[in-house]
Structure 1
Amino acid sequence: MLTISNNVQLADWEIEMSAIRAQGAGGQNVNKVSSAVHLRFDINRSSLPEFYKERLLKLSDHRITKEGVIIIKAQQFRTLEKNREDALERLRELIISATVEVKSRRATRPTLGSKRRRMDKKTQRGSTKSLRGKVSF
């Protein structure tokens, strides 16, 4: 059972996990032990509320396929248990990040004082640079 918030939870049958062999260096163990986790979560089949489903499907994330399946590959740790926990935590973070409202930016204008200070700094910097030139006698 994966808890997303106080009233939203995912059952174990909704999350499909399989053990695969991890990539990269790992010595003799890398070819024998399946320590990486491949997590698949179908958004449309899940018991998530419609609000969560809509927001997840609108996300432009490379982990979400066109069919609405989230695929997470966890192979950061050496043990299968830690990789399983990591995959579940990353799924939880992805679902939570889809629900966060992004505040829209309002356009503002710089104040008159800030414009003056900027221009004063530019002229001061220019005069400093002009004094660095060659000295003629």
Structure 2
Amino acid sequence: MIVVCNYEEVTALSHGARSFLGNEDGTGVAVAAPPSYRIAVEALLPRLSGDFSLNTLAEQEEVEKALRLIVSHLRETMDSHVLATHAAAEEAVSAYFDYAHALTVLDRVEAVGSEMSALVELLTGQSASEEMRESFQFPD
């Protein structure tokens, strides 16, 4: 299943992922996060060049996990910029748009996950087991 992303969304997610990992110029330190969180975001970063495919439900869940972490980080960044300056400050507005674009992609990936789960259940007559999450392939 293909998740379509426009340039602004890809840019916001890339910025958010690099900031989360501490790889963004001008940021102090990376987010103190468990290794599994960092691994999820690191795995998503190379895919952030445009539209991307989700071939299994397990893959969709990993991408959704990484997006949730990035969106949460961008929300905290936006909040801190608004509180440090004011709502109309350039940094606050830019942070809002990064957050909003990332949130939009997260919503899209959640919807794809719901569709994938429903298709597995429809085609197999049961909820997706752990094995099915890994092996049931969805074509683009």
TM-score, normalised with respect to structure 2: 0.29
Larger fraction in strand: 1
> Highest CA radius of gyration, 1 or 2?
1
Larger fraction in helix: 2
TM-score, normalised with respect to structure 1: 0.29
Structure scoring higher RCO (CA < 8 A, sep ≥ 6) equals 2
